[in-house]
Structure 1
């Protein structure tokens, strides 16, 4: 009997209902990311099962599969949250509530407090200033990528989900280790000492730990999408729109 421990993802829950077109693209991005990462783990398991001695040392090639899973997961999070914000904020900002309060608070503190930047002026004077300001807001929130728990919290607040118990600060902080790993893999190539001084060996990624981190991070995106679907549905109703 093989003692090989496989690395697998938990299935995603069913697609949340009630969000309509606003959550469609972000959900598809999450499903695609989940499928890609699951495929990497399947390949990893097959490579390990093909070893002459499955109890032997884990090769660097196997750990590279785990590193790729971290990168794919992080890319999925970036795409999912950025799309969720862009597609849902126009609806959420049409009604009073947490999302609108976070939007106003951000611009008052970051964009309208002092001399206006060119980007702010361009957005205000755009032929469609509302859309341009939302785009600017999303860029401020997500930057080039989500870097950690603080960025997750800002996205949560922007979606009006600050009081959601499934997204409280302690839960988001619990995912910081995943983002730290992503930084090490992407920006340091997983070198122990990226400065070049002393040891430059690569970190020995624990495969089971990587699987747990990636699985938790992808499941967290469902925790973002599901309550957003509900708030979008409520906002549609408040403005007299349809609620598919």
Structure 2
């Protein structure tokens, strides 16, 4: 009996209704990431099925496919959440609520702390469109060069006003920390275990099935961000008397 490890990425749920332009870019980026990661694992499955002995050990070349999936998924997290914040916050911050409270708290505790205002903040305040500039600076603070931990996910969740969403509890977000640990090891350490050995160097063992589960879970989590954000945007639009788009 074959012991072939087959990894499949779950289909994404349907695109959330409403949300309009506020979720369009983030959704498109999520779909594109899902397609790329699914294709990587499909190729991996095909390569494994074509090898002479499917019961043999998984080669480093095959594990590199899984490592690539981690990198692709991480890039999708960055792209999707950055777009979601950039596009939805201008609408969400038009009404009082959790998103607006978190926005104000961030500036009061971080950028206006001890009356020490950075040049970037000053430029935002005196720009032609201060509100837009402050939101842009806020998103940069939230995402940085990349989203690298469960804590970063929680900051994005709070910024979107989704603290009470049952699919985005702190415990659920923290369950994805192993994915970010793997991302760090692959991207920043090249999966090297011992770079200063006696003429040898090892690489971390990557369990392909575990990597598949991590990537699959991360992609589904992104949907859990986009869906409630679309609902929140729709609610603000109704409060403002705007038509749904």
Write the distance in 1 (CA, Å) between the matches of 2:126 and 2:197: 51
Residue deviations 1:187-215 (CA, integer Å, cap 9, x gap): 00000135x35663000100000000000
Structure 1, unaligned stretches of length 5 or more? none
2: distance between equivalents of 1:197 and 1:95? 58
Instruction: Give the equivalent residue in structure 1 for 2:10.
Output: 10
Q: CA RMSD in A?
A: 1.1
In the alignment, what sits opposite 1:121? 122
Within 5 Å, give how 1:22-171 maps onto structure 2: 22-113=22-113, 114-171=115-172
TM-score (norm: length of structure 1): 0.97
Structure 1 segments, 4+ long, off by >4 Å, are: none
Structure 1 residue 20, shift from structure 2 partner: 1.1
Give TM-score, length-normalised by structure 2: 0.97
Q: Which residue of 2 aligns with 1:226?
A: 227
Once residues 148 and 4 of structure 2 are traced to their aligned partners in structure 1, the CA distance between those partners, rounded to angstroms, is 33
Query: Structure 2 CA distance, aligned partners of 1:90 and 1:181?
Result: 33
1:76-107 deviation line (CA, Å, top 9, x unaligned): 00000000000000000000000000000000
Quote the offset at 1:4 in angstroms. Answer: 1.6
For residues 165-193 of structure 1, the C-alpha deviation after alignment (integer angstroms, 9 at most, x for no partner) is 11000000000000000000000000013
Q: How far has the Cα of 1:41 moved from its partner?
A: 0.4
The answer on 1:235 being equivalent to 2:236 is: yes
Residue deviations 1:8-50, cap 9 Å, x none?
1000000000111110110000000000000100110111111
- The Cα shift of 1:3 comes to 3.4
Question: Counterparts of 1:162 and 1:3 in 2: how far apart (Å)?
Answer: 43
Hey, what's the Cα distance between the residues in 1 that align with 2:153 and 2:90?
Answer: 20
